[in-house]
Chains A and B, each alone.
Chain A
Amino acid sequence: MIELIDIAMQSSDVVLQEARDAAYAEELKMGMVALAVGLAAFGAGYAERGIGAAAVGAMAEDEEMFGRGLIMTVLPETLVIFAIVVIFLV
């Protein structure tokens, strides 16, 4: 009897272990996805820094540049959008 319980305990341990591993893998995956999105956002921000500075410079000289400057400035934002796709793919 005691032996039976022992075996049952052991097997439930294995099941638990597997469940924990799966949960851990899932967490790790989501963590990596978050990192990917974060890095993409960082890259977009860095790219926008330069373009934004140039766009504001051009706008200060010529107000008609506002529309074009704005579009150029947010172009690197596509990086983040592609990174968001990663969330749904994984």
Chain B
Amino acid sequence: MSTSGSSNPEYVNGRVRARRAALFDEADYRKLVRMGTGEIARYMEETEYGTEINALGARHSGVDLIEYALNENLAKHFYDILDWADGQLYTLIANYLRKFDAWNVKTAIRGIYSGASAEEIADDYIRAGEFDDELLETLAAATSVQEAVELLDGTIFETQLATAYEEYEETDLLVPLENAVDKTFYERLLGEVDTQFVDRQTPKGLYVEVLQAEIDFRNTRNALRLSRTDTDLDPAEYYIEGGKLFDPAELGRLIGNFDDLVERIRDSEYGEELEDALSELADADSLIAFEQALDAALLEYSDQLSYTYPLSICSALSYILAKEREVENVRAIARGREVGLPVEEIEQEVVVQ
């Protein structure tokens, strides 16, 4: 657990792959979608979530218990990875896990905006990022959005949040603040790497490869949503720098024309991976299925890279993505069961690779 010295991808790969294999598989999900929330919690108790379910069981129940147990387990596993990794591997993984700083900042801002109590906000944190508990607690206890933004001075979010705050004051909408947080995170990820000249065979090159795919997919998803809803929102506001699929001007032009956009994605280098998703999109006319397919494609892409280059950061990244997916799946199932959605509908929400 240090940034100096050489990386130890062999060890991290060995451990991460074992944990990747222990994640829920299709059979588990098939069982889970047919259970009530209480049963899901009991089922999780017998898996690796046991410790968290037992620890939180006294304070929470039902869906909340499941959700907090999922979050805590996620944080524990990601902290473990950081614990094992050394050298450059540590730096790259730590950089990626700042995603949860972004998540926590958004949670805090939304909580404050909607008037949630400090305790409620603190419960919703996923403590897998870089922010320490003290900063998170003071952030949760902040009484106004302005106070929260000021608390984040000195973090990576400072500059973009300050600009977005002015916009927030004018419109009283959270969207600019949330966009600023997301964009800061993604743009920082690739900020330190020269994406044009990095060698694709090096650990850093592969890191760029996975992240560019993630950014491209995110841009794709935003573009499709925007073009589907026919809004006059400015696509540039949602555009994340660093991908290799679109540039902002092209994206702005394509959003007006849905078919061209789909064609453009089909012709791109992700075309093959997204083939099924795209034809589904043409048939079903539903974005939900396409977005699930995008997630599955990203998982598959990162997995494929981790098999091709086992001694790189790819296996760690693919595990992180898969674990996040599992947590989202179980949460979707639990929430869906709670409000009484039919099994088929929940199954649609679950992404299994």
User: What residues of chain A have their CB less than 8 Å away from a CB belonging to chain B?
Assistant: 50-51, 53-58, 60-62, 65
**B153-164 vs A, Cβ < 8 Å mask (1 yes, 0 no):** 000000000000
* A61 to B8 Cα, complex, angstroms: 17
* A60 to B8 Cα, complex, angstroms: 15
Interchain CB contact under 8 A, B18 and A54: no
Interchain CB contact under 8 A, A54 and B11: yes
**Which residue of B14, B22, B311 is within 8 Å of A57 (Cβ)?**
B14
* A25 to B277 Cα, complex, angstroms: 72
Interchain CB contact under 8 A, B18 and A56: no
Residues of B within 8 A of A53 (CB): 8, 10-11, 14
**Complex: chain B residue closest to A55, CB-CB:** B14
Residue B89 interfacial (CB < 8 Å): no
Interchain CB contact under 8 A, B19 and A57: no
| 16 A–B contacts from the bound complex (CB under 8 Å) | A50-B10, A50-B311, A53-B8, A54-B10, A55-B14, A57-B11, A57-B84, A58-B14, A58-B15, A58-B17, A58-B18, A60-B14, A61-B14, A61-B18, A62-B18, A65-B18
How many residues of chain B have a CB within 8 Å of chain A? 13
Number of A-B contacts (CB under 8 A): 35
**Which residue of B10, B15, B311 is within 8 Å of A61 (Cβ)?**
B15
Q: Given contact pairs A53-B8, A53-B14, A57-B11, enumerate 15 new A-B contacts (beta carbons under 8 Å).
A: A51-B10, A53-B11, A54-B11, A54-B13, A56-B11, A56-B14, A57-B12, A57-B13, A57-B14, A57-B15, A58-B17, A60-B15, A61-B19, A62-B18, A65-B18
* A50 to B12 Cα, complex, angstroms: 11
**Complex: chain B residue closest to A60, CB-CB:** B15
* A61 to B10 Cα, complex, angstroms: 14
**B13-27 vs A, Cβ < 8 Å mask (1 yes, 0 no):** 111011100100000
Give the shortest distance, in Å, between A55 (CB) and chain B (any CB).
Answer: 7
Give the shortest distance, in Å, between A51 (CB) and chain B (any CB).
Answer: 7
Give the shortest distance, in Å, between B8 (CB) and chain A (any CB).
Answer: 6
